[in-house]
Structure 1
Amino acid sequence: MYNIMIVEDDKKITELIKRTLERYGYKAYAVEDFSNIKEEFIKSNSDLVLMDVNLPFYDGFYWCRDIRTVSNIPIIFISARNSDMDQVMAIENGADDYITKPFSYDLLLAKIKGVTRRVYGSYAENSSEVYEVRGLFLHINQNIVEFNRKRIELSKKEFQLLYTLIRNVDKIVSRETLLEVLWNDTDFVDDNTLSVNITRLRKRLEDIEIKDAIETKRGQGYRLVANWSR
């Protein structure tokens, strides 16, 4: 089930939302440090953000823009500010939807279901399953990689390679494992073939401004380091 980050400084409202989400099978993470919500977001590996407007330090519009520098994840505003201008500002700053307080939890759940269905589920573009890690999106059925609103289409081998590495982000993946994933064979494939594909993948990632993310661990394999989330 989806992981939802709650950015709301009213602890009572936060707890009510959190309990409701968990009752319906969602995982809910409530922000406690409002001084750096972007950092909290990166650590949370969330699938959706519920964002208030009035927050300590900076308002929700600021944090929405800040999150948009690393991710296209769905963001729904929940706020007592109900003017048309506030809703327009939310959308212009990158929000997907806006709910005014007080609200019914049935409406909140419907909004969450709608946006997750559109982004991740049956209504997603070309019915593509999306795998996201720290703002890097892999569109599984399309071999497309997206970061910071830039997209590239990889070859089948390049995509399989990246998908395997990103599912083990920050961990070393052995050459044997990668050879088995890409060719189902570890004995009769030239070892240099894997090196060539790694080199190609590195160059493709540079096209979306991700550099030096794939480390070579001599005698062990390769590791994908999420340096794009810093």
Structure 2
Amino acid sequence: MKIKTTWEYSLETEAKRVIHCAHQMVVGFYRVNNFYVLPLDLKTHSSNIVLFPDLPYHKIPRFWNKAKKVDVTTLPIKADRRIVDEVKLLLEKERLPKPNYHHIKKGWGKASNTILEKLNDLIPKAFDRIGEIIIYPTVLGTSCSFNILSEKDSIIYIWLREDRDIYSIVEAIITSITRKEAFDELHATWSESEFLSDWLVTKSALATAIAKYQKRSNYLPTLKGTRGKQNAQLLKESDEFYKKLGLPINSKVFNLNGRTPEINKKQIEDLTNTEKNILRLLIENADNVVTFDKIADYLFPDSANFSLYAISKTIQRLRDKLEENGISGSYIQTLRGRGYLLKN
């Protein structure tokens, strides 16, 4: 199956990558999903490490607040021209190294047709929508980031870190074409969507096709990488780096002011009374499972109307409200067959 792949690198794409990572740092996405943010000169790379340049961001007025407001739900990201230019200026002065991506570009050029044909066998309807793949090679960030393909899109955009290989490209493509349906129709969480991609890349017939072209790899499935035993030293180094960059490390993001839920001691906007009640319940039981039955007590006074589907939709709306208030919806985690847990 022939789908064109274009590789694009520029200071512009790297500046936007910095802003994208900064946003995920501010809203807590990396911390709640067990990623360690560390300086760019780190020698050890892995799938749970986010490489971020140690730059004087204080020279950009209210940089972190501006990054927090950037829309990263689509790629290329939608950022104010001024902040992009200001970050580009920092990168120019610090002489950010260019990514060495020619080997992976050559490898993907040889493998792409065969692998995409195999993927088309596994997910045919989704592949009908792909018109082009654009890869932004980078020296920073997570292993890769990508847009979620919707009905209106035909291009998959991927930020690919220079130390990654064909496995990461394929994982990004799979997740891009399956995540929207997984979220909207199957009510999957971020981690459940990642599991689907991890399994297809490592355990399906696709794995054999990839291994034919990628003989040696440092690839580690995303969930395996982020759910491994927590590395106390890396966590300490990451926390110190956050502080050096001027980002507060709050031990507790959520709190109650009386009976009113707050984020970082600030009121949460636009919550319905039901959403406030459920969030208060989650905060009161932070880091412990709140069962479906307990949540149902707020949603269905009449137990005869109990609906797991309605609970799932309510929690998803609550996650969306958290995102709108500048915090990652991933703080509310699903425990299949049991209930929900708020990481705090």
Which of the two has greater strand per residue? 1
TM-score range, shorter chain: 0.3 to 0.5
Point out which structure has higher relative CO (alpha carbons under 8 A, 6+ apart): 2
